[in-house]
Amino acid sequence: MSQGAPGASLPRFSRRLLLAGLGLDAAELICCGLPLVLWMQDSARDFVWLKVALPLTLALWAAAALRMAYLVRPVLDIVAALREGGKPKPTEAETARLALLRAPREIAVVHLLGWALVVSALPAHAIAVGARDPLSGVALIQLVLVTSAGLAAVRILAVETILAPTRAILVPNLQGIRVFADRYRGALLAVGVALLGLWQTALAFFCTMLGGATGEVLVSGVLVLWPVLLPGGYLWWRRVLARTQPIEDYFDAALRTKGGKGLGRDDPKAVAAFVAAERTPYALGAVQALLLVAGGGAAVVHLGLGGHVALALAGRLLLIVLLVSLLATFYQTLLCQQVLRPLIRHLGSRHALPLAEVRAPLGLSAKLGASLLALLVAACAFVWLFVHARSAWGPLSLAVATVAVFGVVLLLVRDVVSPLRALEERSGEMAQGQLARPVPPWGEADEIGRLAVMFEEMRRSLRDRLRSTESINVDLEREVRRRTEALEQRNAELHEALEKLRRAQDNLVRTEKLASMGRLVAGIAHEINNPVNAVINSLGPLEEAVKKIAAGDGGSAATLGREAEEILAVVQRGAARTKAIVQALHGYARGDDSTQRLVDLARSLDDTLGLLQHRLRHVQVVKDIEPGVRIAGFPGQIDQVLMNLLTNAAQAIGARGGTITVAAKNQDAQVLLTIADDGPGIPGDVLPHIFDPFFTTKDVGEGSGLGLSIVHGIIERHGGRIDVDSQPGHGTKFSISFPLPPAGGVSRNPQ
């Protein structure tokens, strides 16, 4: 609630109270003061009522206004505090709540006591001076008291209706259904008393306006009327208590039981309370109709049989009784429905109502049809009565009757249109996904009420399904989040394991490379020893030749020079051979850079063959390398691939001799490298396992079983593929495909 809301509602609150008070004061003056004026005008020529009644009336209104100001003062203080942004204290809020509770009743009591004082003082004065007989005074007192009681009940209902929104603003923590539980029976009684007083006033008015009912006739009729209505009123109240007992049982269980958990959605007490709330207005209306017709009929029969009025006039008076009683019954039923409507809406929004058990006693079509037909007949009857009455007051009476009939029609239309508008509004909200606010029935469970109940069930079902879906979505999100976290953890573990595996693979590659280098060194030592021995053996003769040339002995200088040149050529060839072997070994042993480079396959093959000469003594190597064939990769790893495959081919051929064919060319947007030998081939049971780590067919100490596995890993790292084709007795062929190097994507320095 915004701070400006109470302050904004204050002008409406005050103005509505003022207008309602002035209107009811005018109604009291007409309905209660006019009979006093007429009665005193016939009884006293000096118009004593002007000297007594007018001051008493003014005093009455002044006292009521002061009492209203006193009671509403705490409410105004809280409004002022809220307007200034303050917050009322709990004691102030409780004082305001009590003021809102007491104000309607006390204002009505002040007015009723004032009129009781006036209507008692004036007839007593007239009777005391002998101007009128006591019976007429008693009849006047009855007429004015009942009328003022009815208007006091109307005042209670009007003030309560005006203050109800203010109560919700000023005391927001006060539960509305608790207020209803404490006041609904009093409201039903106020409706009954108000309709009874207005019924009597309307009868007196219409009978007087009809032209045949004099003061004596009214007095005689009133004296007969109340012996019938007083016990009937007591029976009506007993009927109220009996009919509302299921409602009281519901409130006892739902609100008045301390420490209770409340009632469930399907509790039968809620269903019984709903049935009682929708059927009580009809029951009270029926009882009231019987009482009013019985009382009014008895009065008319007394007047007719007693000779007070002609039989024709008695018939018209009886028709007036029936018509006014019909209108009073309509108002009684509709107003009682309005009183009980908060309970019906509360039950419809809090509990599940089985449609078969809460169905209204009358359908909407039957209720509207019968009501409109009865009102049409009543309107026609009023027109006939007051048009043919030939009275000067006929048009006024017809206007009053028309207003009364039109008021019933407005109430009926509102009871049909208002729930449809509420359903339309809630349907729009539900279409937008707003399912929090309930869709309670407006009144009884007729066609519109049952539609509202079904809308409410649909809303609850949609809300429950939506909540279930949201709960499932939350659970799914939670589970997805949990799985995602677990997956991320697994991915991190896999990444770590993959990194460890990569490092292990790199270590294996280096280890295998070092092992192969160790095996190479053992064979290369002999290759290096031969040129070194040649160099060493040539140094002695070269030294002697140099000395001879220097001393001029041993022959001609030209001969000695040619011998020295021959010796130097041997030394140069030995040194060049040693240098080539060392460079090839150094190139094989070097580490790779972190980025790929262009690798010249012809150069890598030559370097590898230079290192493997000692293993290829009995093997003929045939090279078919297309010029300019290059791949993107790590040179050291490519050399290791060639080294392992050529070594395996040489070992497969053995000392018997054979041929190894190495070919490389660009083919189908890739580089195809093949290494084939004419050895004995690979057995069929061994072929599927040749790339498995640590798988070897060699004797212990001759191989680790990692050579081909490392070759397979290196080729996959370079984005290539290796295939093997081997037939026992027909040799083995390894086919390796590398992707073409990207244009400008790697270093242009071939290695």
Residue 151 counted as domain residue: yes
Distance between CA 498 and CA 505 in Å, rounded?
10
Q: Does one domain contain both 674 and 715?
A: yes
Determine which of 82-86, 229-233, 429-433, 739-743 has the lowest per-residue pLDDT on average: 82-86
The domain boundary residue, chosen from 416, 445, 474: 445
Q: Does one domain contain both 138 and 257?
A: no
The mean of the pLDDT values for the chain is 76
Summarize pLDDT for 640-652 with one digit per residue, the tens: 788 888 888 888 8
Whether residue 449 has pLDDT greater than 80: no
DSSP string, 44-91: -TT-HHHHHHHHHHHHHHHHHHHHHHHHHHHHHHHHHHHHTT----HH
Q: Does one domain contain both 299 and 404?
A: yes
- pLDDT of 642 reads 83
Determine which of 12-26, 252-266, 670-684 has the lowest per-residue pLDDT on average: 252-266
For 64-99, give one letter per residue: b (16+ CB within 10 A) or e: beebbeebbebbeebbebbeeeeebeeebbebbbeb
Distance between CA 98 and CA 82 in Å, rounded?
19
DSSP string, 624-688: EEPTT-EEEE-HHHHHHHHHHHHHHHHHHHGGG-EEEEEEEEEETTEEEEEEEE-SS---TTTGG
Summarize pLDDT for 513-552 with one digit per residue, the tens: 666 655 556 556 656 666 676 677 667 777 777 777 766 6
What percent of the chain is modeled with pLDDT above 90?
3
Residue 666 counted as domain residue: yes
Residue 527 counted as domain residue: no
Distance between CA 66 and CA 18 in Å, rounded?
13
Residue 118: count other Cβ atoms within 10 Å of its Cβ.
Answer: 24
Q: Does one domain contain both 227 and 166?
A: no
Number of structural domains the chain divides into? 3
Residue 541 counted as domain residue: no
- pLDDT of 242 reads 93
Q: Does one domain contain both 335 and 424?
A: yes
At residue 474, the 3 state secondary structure works out as: helix
Q: Does one domain contain both 158 and 202?
A: no
Q: Does one domain contain both 166 and 213?
A: no
The domain boundary residue, chosen from 412, 445, 478: 445
Summarize pLDDT for 597-618 with one digit per residue, the tens: 888 888 888 878 877 777 777 7
Higher pLDDT, 266 or 51: 266
Q: Does one domain contain both 188 and 60?
A: no
Residue 5 counted as domain residue: yes
Distance between CA 583 and CA 3 in Å, rounded?
94
What percent of the chain is modeled with pLDDT above 70?
75
- pLDDT of 433 reads 73
Q: Residue 629: give the domain boundaries.
A: 592-751
For residue 234 the two structure tokens come to 């007591």
At residue 726, the 3 state secondary structure works out as: strand
Q: Does one domain contain both 253 and 373?
A: yes
- pLDDT of 44 reads 46
The domain boundary residue, chosen from 174, 209, 243: 174
Determine which of 48-52, 230-234, 235-239, 672-676 has the lowest per-residue pLDDT on average: 48-52
Residue 3 counted as domain residue: yes
Residue 522 counted as domain residue: no
> Could you tell me which of 153, 130, 119 has the C-alpha nearest to residue 37?
119
Q: Does one domain contain both 86 and 209?
A: no
Higher pLDDT, 380 or 3: 380
- pLDDT of 241 reads 92
Q: What is the mean pLDDT of residues 116-131?
A: 69
Summarize pLDDT for 684-701 with one digit per residue, the tens: 777 777 776 655 665 544
Determine which of 122-126, 315-319, 672-676, 736-740 has the lowest per-residue pLDDT on average: 122-126
CATH code for the domain of 734:
3.30.565.10
Report which listed range, 29-43, 298-312, 392-406, 654-668, is most confident: 654-668
Residue 464 counted as domain residue: no
Determine which of 208-222, 285-299, 458-472, 648-662 has the lowest per-residue pLDDT on average: 208-222
Sequence-distant (≥ 6) Cβ neighbours of residue 55 within 8 angstroms: none
At residue 585, the 3 state secondary structure works out as: helix
Q: Does one domain contain both 214 and 269?
A: yes
- pLDDT of 189 reads 92
- Name the pTM for this structure: 0.61
Q: What is the mean pLDDT of residues 155-165?
A: 82
- pLDDT of 12 reads 56
Distance between CA 162 and CA 181 in Å, rounded?
19
Whether the Cβ atoms of residue 644 and residue 711 lie closer than 8 Å to each other: yes
Q: Does one domain contain both 124 and 2?
A: yes
Summarize pLDDT for 484-520 with one digit per residue, the tens: 888 888 888 888 888 887 777 667 666 666 666 555 5
